[in-house]
Structure 1
Amino acid sequence: MTLIFEPLLPLFLIAILAAIALTLSAFGLYRRQRGAVLRAIALLLLVGALANPVFHSEEREALSTVVAIAADRSHSQEVGPRREQTDKAIAALKDALGRYKGIETRVIDASALQTTDTPWTRIFSSLASALEDVPPSRIGAVIAVTDGQVHDVPEDGKVKGIDAPVHGLITGHEGEFDRRIQIVKAPRFGIVGRDLEMSLRVVDDGGQQAAPAEITIRINGEIVNRLDTAPGVTRTARFRLARAGSNIVEISVAEIDDEVTGINNRVVQTIDGIRENLRVLLVSGEPHAGERAWRNLLKSDASVDLVHFTILRPPEKQDGTPINELSLIAFPTRELFVEKIKDFDLIIFDRYQHRGVLPILYYDNIAQYVREGGALLLVSGPEHAGSESLAYTPLESVLPASPTGSMNEKAFFPRLSEVGAKHPVTRGLQGAQSEPPHWGRWFRSVGVRAPEGNVVMDGPDESPLLVLSHNGEGRVAMLLSDNGWLWARGFEGGGPHVDLYRRIAHWLMKEPALEEEALTARSLGREIEITRQTLGKTAEKAIVRKPDGTIAEVTLTPSEPGLFRGTLKTTANGLYEVSNDDFSTLVHVGAVDAPEFREMVSTTEKLAPVAKATKGVVKRLDDGNGGITLPQILTVRGQVRLDDPDRMVIRMTDETALKGISSLPLFSGLLGLGLLLLAIASTWWREGR
């Protein structure tokens, strides 16, 4: 109970009245007046009534002490018996704490904040989030059940929002050993075909091993290098990228006996392959309206080095002008088609015909260049239907179509064929979705016999217009019309000549995104999206090998012409291998260099500073016989001043909750009125004697 005052008048008035009453009482007592004592008592009671004293009585309920059990459910806890030890320890802790009156146990999942992009153990961040509704004074202790690999340990040992002992119960067992591979330095991108370097180190956690280590480097699933090393030594590995775009470089070290896990014996680095400037040779057989369409397109691409020749004066042309007076550059045929032909990534013949400029043997060189991996594009006009067509040279062996000798001379809309609607070179061309297509007409094309390869665009009467073909290691494309420049000039609204020409050139130079048969996979958070690009009507199920070795099948359904897609939900981080038919690809889920998988050996060292700063203890759960042992529990009240190396201290709270308040005014009601009347009556009685 507490006594408080709720004055009926302002305090300064009560103080003045009290001073007057005290003065009068003192004067009466000094003069020994009759009834002075009774008058003093009456005045005191009157001032007390004005001060209005009130007794307050509070009803309170003792609050519980909250003990938080942080359960580490991260990926490193899946190793060996750690998950089982964690479950047993939590059950035993709940049972032991339940025997104490006034203790409330809260089990907090310490992996609640873990995501694909942040796969690390954040116990203290999880505690701060889960205990927001609990005042620090009510927290009796924090008990973390973990393998000790915690990545958000406070540097100063002080846990924000928690003023109580922090204890650590460590899973795993003493003397664990693990070998892992570490990327010290790696490039983010590299030029295709050029040497790249990556610094690697094999690390032995839990003790140095004498066993040597063998490192294997794979790029997109293919082994490109092997090297032997000793643990702790940084080695430099060299390799080359074979393709542009995203490349998955997988570095692995062979597992050894008795190590904790093999999951961190493999790391992945994504390196973007960049092609060096592509060299393109463009040979125009004669000046014509469409010559600049190809030249302007190739010159506008900063990654293309263009060498362009136009045949202005063929050998049979005789006008009497001496050779030394001509201002023309001689066509360096031997240098281009013998000495440096392999330096070019693409050769384009634009309305070129055999008129003796190139010796017949050079065409055989070009055919051999294609079969060994080169790229050739023929843009044909009326000359291809004549007697001097390139089809009547040794180049015929690599051309997918031979001319009939006739020209189709009538207006037509270029249309995508059934295959062309699926082929990445022509799929989705702007204007192709309507009928007739929303682009301008062309007016002539070369007639050819049934071609090999894929006819992706049709001319008049469904005759071939654009043919794409593989030949040996190389590729050949034939555009059987020279009217593409009409689209560039905007005739009848023009057409997508830039997209079409660029895709043809990039397909010839083996751009991965334009492969007609391909398998790709990408990570979308916790899902893997698998895409099968094919000219076929159906796609078989994709087979996915997970990081733990298990297999899953994914059904691929049509999403658009030539594309089949499917998704797979994942739960584990790591490298997934996807295969379909004869194709395979790799995709990595989660952070490439995740902290959760770097160190897998259980340890008491990381939590020791926090335990020391908060008077807690760190103990291993393993009892050496396959079971667990919990430290004893010690409850104390007040500030924890000393730590106990063998027991987990819990600070019991003194906090209470107010349930209700009772008030009793002393001078209100019959009691106050009776006291005042008694005092006044006593004074009157004494004066009357």
Structure 2
Amino acid sequence: MDWSVSFDPLFSWGVLALLLAPLTLLMALSLLLGRRGALLRLAALAALALALVNPVLLEEERDPLQSVVALVVDESQSQDIGNRAETTRQAVQTLQERLERFDEFEVRVVEAGRGEAADERTETRLFEALEGTLRDVPPSRVAGTIMVTDGQVHDTPANATGFSGPLHALITGEDDERDRRVRFERAPRFGIVGTPLEMTYRVLDSAGEGGQVEVEVFVNGELALIEQAVIGREMPLEITVPNAGRNIVELRIPVLEGELTETNNRAVALVDGIRENLRVLLVSGEPHSGERTWRNLLKSDASVDLVHFTILRPPEKQDGTPINELSLIAFPTRELFVEKIEDFDLIIFDRYQHRDVLPVLYYDYIAEYVENGGALLIAAGPEFAGNQSIARTPLISALPALPNGEVTETGFHPRLTETGERHPVTRGLDGSASEPPQWSRWFRIVGVEQPEGHVVMEGAGERPLLLLSRRGEGRIGMFLSDQGWLWARGYEGGGPYVALYRRIAHWLMKEPDLEEERLTATGRGMQLEITRQTMEDEAGTATMTAPSGETRDVPLTAGEPGLFRGTMEVDEIGLYQVANGELSTLAHVGPVNAPEFADTISTENVLAPVAEGTGGSVRRLQEGVGGITLPNIVPVRANATTAAGRDWMGLRTTNDSVLKSVKRVPLFAGFLGLGLLLLAIGAMWYREGR
């Protein structure tokens, strides 16, 4: 029960002042002049004043409020090292049991570091979680905070300003931990394919600097080189970017005996490979309606350097025109097909026929260029079936099909074959899903026999229209019609010539996304997405290996033709390896080189400044008889400046309470007030009457 006195005046305080002020002056004057009965008059005036201000005795019934204790549990991935997780579990359980004994404390347990999103796992953000759980608690009711953590907290405030209640940190882990780690210091995000890329890295050891360690460098999962690094020193690294698109550069150092964890013995950098301008040689055998279609398409691509020649004047054409009157550029055959042929990424023969412009020996060079990894595209017209066909040259060894002498001229809709529906070059072409396809007809196709490779499009009478084949290390494509320009001109609505021609060109130049057999994996949040591209009917299951070494099977289900996909929720941040058949790939889940794994040694130093500033403590959990040894919990006053001792930690109690009811007892009302007032006035007149 709480007692207090309040006033409930009969008039406003202003009116009371006007009434009582003159009387008070008269009483003061009477006292100064020593008039008889002045004291009695003063008592009567006081009784009148009390009656007017109406004093009230209040009896309040209150319930005390509990102080709120925040128990913050570090559930980050670094807590899985050694026996930290078990130590944390035991400590939290014991703390909860002890705190339940105190009626003055309300315990709120908050777990941090295991959020659903990947960015919530990259750093241990305990203070952010603490702020969230105490957002609805006034500072006067905060008893304090107990953190059970390994001490590697990444959102620790610079000082204790504005922090409510003492902070006590209980540190998991051992005193004598040792760890060695590697990290990238400078890792560019982009690199030119086929050219050296300069990077730097550093190897750190908790035991100190000095000494050397062997560093293995992997590029896209394959060992690229082995280097010797000086511990503690920034080391240079030069790699060659192998592919366009995403490349994974990984550093690995050996695991020491007794080392705390091997998680940070790896460092990963993601490098996007960018191709320099692709060099394409386009040779048109003669002017025709489709010649400019190829030229315009290739010139419109800023990443393509195009060299285009059209054979306007073959050697057999002798009309007597003086050479100095011909505005023609001599065809530099030797320079292009002997000296600089390896500089080209793609050679296109557009309706080209053998007319002694190229010496026969040069066709051998072109075939050898394909065998050694080059790319050749044949856009054939009627000349391919004639006597001057390039199939009658030494280039025959590289061709995926030979002409049978037939040229069919009839209207037909180009269609995707069953293989073409799966092949990444032609899969999903706009208009291919309907029957007939939603694109215009063509009117000429060259017949071939014994086609090799993949027939991805067909024409009239199911004749092969587009062939894609491999020769040695290189690739060759063959278009058996010269009427693709009808799509470009919009005849009967046109067709997807831009997408088709570009895909053909990029497949020939070994664009990874267009490989027939390809396995890719991508981390999106805490989900691993796996895509298998294949020409087979089934893809089976993929085997996923987590950073910790745990393996799991991921079923791959069919989606689009030739594509199989699988997803899996994961709970580790790091580099995952995925295998399917003979293919394997790497994927990184979460931010690269996250702070959570940069330094995993448990420490008391990070939280010590804040704990000391709040009057709290930081101490390491120790194994004792029967389990973890914890300090005693002691309630302390709200204004206590120190809340920790050698074997105890204090939590503040609050003076806050909740008002349940109020009883009012007027002190100068009823017969008591009337009697006191009459007594005072009567005594005054009694004195005056004597």
User: TM-score w.r.t. structure 2 length?
Assistant: 0.94
Q: Cα offset for 1:103?
A: 2.7
Counterpart Cα distance in 1 of 2:624 and 2:215 = 35
Counterpart Cα distance in 2 of 1:613 and 1:290 = 80
Task: Describe the SS at the equivalent of 2:418.
Answer: coil
Aligned AA for 2:151?
G
1:247-286 equivalence runs, <5 A:
247-286=247-286
Counterpart Cα distance in 1 of 2:618 and 2:687 = 81
Counterpart Cα distance in 2 of 1:181 and 1:275 = 30
Write the deviation string for residues 558-596 of structure 1: whole angstroms up to 9, x where unpaired. 111221111011011111111112111110011102000
Counterpart Cα distance in 2 of 1:653 and 1:26 = 48
Write the deviation string for residues 443-482 of structure 1: whole angstroms up to 9, x where unpaired. 1110111311111111112111111111111111111111
Aligned counterpart, 2:523: 523
Question: Does 1:58 pair with 2:60?
Answer: yes
Aligned counterpart, 1:121: 124
Write the deviation string for residues 35-59 of structure 1: whole angstroms up to 9, x where unpaired. 9877765554343322222222222
- Does 323-332 or 371-380 show the bigger shift? 323-332
Q: Cα offset for 1:73?
A: 0.9
Aligned counterpart, 1:140: 143
1:146-225 equivalence runs, <5 A:
146-155=149-158, 157-158=159-160, 160=162, 162-205=163-206, 207-208=207-208, 212-225=212-225
1:358-437 equivalence runs, <5 A:
358-437=358-437
Aligned counterpart, 2:667: 666
Q: Cα offset for 1:126?
A: 1.1
Counterpart Cα distance in 1 of 2:55 and 2:127 = 50
Q: Cα offset for 1:631?
A: 2.7
Counterpart Cα distance in 2 of 1:498 and 1:116 = 39
Aligned counterpart, 2:239: 239
Structure 1 unaligned segments of length 5 or more: list them.
none
Counterpart Cα distance in 1 of 2:647 and 2:687 = 78
Question: Does 1:71 pair with 2:73?
Answer: yes
- Does 614-623 or 444-453 show the bigger shift? 614-623
Aligned AA for 2:9?
P
Write the deviation string for residues 354-381 of structure 1: whole angstroms up to 9, x where unpaired. 1111111111111111111100000011
Counterpart Cα distance in 2 of 1:589 and 1:633 = 41
Structure 2 unaligned segments of length 5 or more: list them.
none
Aligned AA for 2:138?
P
Task: Describe the SS at the equivalent of 1:296.
Answer: helix
1:330-341 equivalence runs, <5 A:
330-341=330-341
- Give the alignment's Cα RMSD to 1 decimal: 2.4
- Check whether the contact 2:67–2:105 (CA below 8 A) recurs between aligned residues: yes
With over 3 angstroms needed to count, the CA separation of the structure-2 counterparts of 1:112 and 1:60, relative to structure 1, is: farther
Aligned counterpart, 1:85: 87
Q: Cα offset for 1:544?
A: 0.7
Write the deviation string for residues 396-437 of structure 1: whole angstroms up to 9, x where unpaired. 111111111011111111111111112111112112222222
- Check whether the contact 1:124–1:159 (CA below 8 A) recurs between aligned residues: no
Task: Describe the SS at the equivalent of 1:117.
Answer: helix
- Does 107-116 or 84-93 show the bigger shift? 107-116
Task: Describe the SS at the equivalent of 2:364.
Answer: helix
Write the deviation string for residues 87-141 of structure 1: whole angstroms up to 9, x where unpaired. 1112222233344442333322132668412411111111111111222222222
Counterpart Cα distance in 2 of 1:25 and 1:199 = 95
Identity %: 56
Aligned counterpart, 2:653: 652
Aligned AA for 1:81?
N
- Does 49-58 or 439-448 show the bigger shift? 49-58
- Check whether the contact 1:250–1:269 (CA below 8 A) recurs between aligned residues: yes
With over 3 angstroms needed to count, the CA separation of the structure-2 counterparts of 1:19 and 1:333, relative to structure 1, is: closer
Counterpart Cα distance in 2 of 1:466 and 1:622 = 73
Counterpart Cα distance in 1 of 2:664 and 2:607 = 51
With over 3 angstroms needed to count, the CA separation of the structure-2 counterparts of 1:39 and 1:415, relative to structure 1, is: same
Question: Does 1:511 pair with 2:507?
Answer: no
User: TM-score w.r.t. structure 1 length?
Assistant: 0.94
With over 3 angstroms needed to count, the CA separation of the structure-2 counterparts of 1:66 and 1:323, relative to structure 1, is: same
With over 3 angstroms needed to count, the CA separation of the structure-2 counterparts of 1:178 and 1:24, relative to structure 1, is: closer
With over 3 angstroms needed to count, the CA separation of the structure-2 counterparts of 1:24 and 1:117, relative to structure 1, is: closer
Write the deviation string for residues 299-346 of structure 1: whole angstroms up to 9, x where unpaired. 111111111111111111121234455332221111111111111100
Q: Cα offset for 1:278?
A: 0.6
With over 3 angstroms needed to count, the CA separation of the structure-2 counterparts of 1:264 and 1:680, relative to structure 1, is: same
Counterpart Cα distance in 2 of 1:95 and 1:295 = 80
Counterpart Cα distance in 2 of 1:72 and 1:646 = 23
- Check whether the contact 2:108–2:133 (CA below 8 A) recurs between aligned residues: no
1:581-596 equivalence runs, <5 A:
581-596=581-596
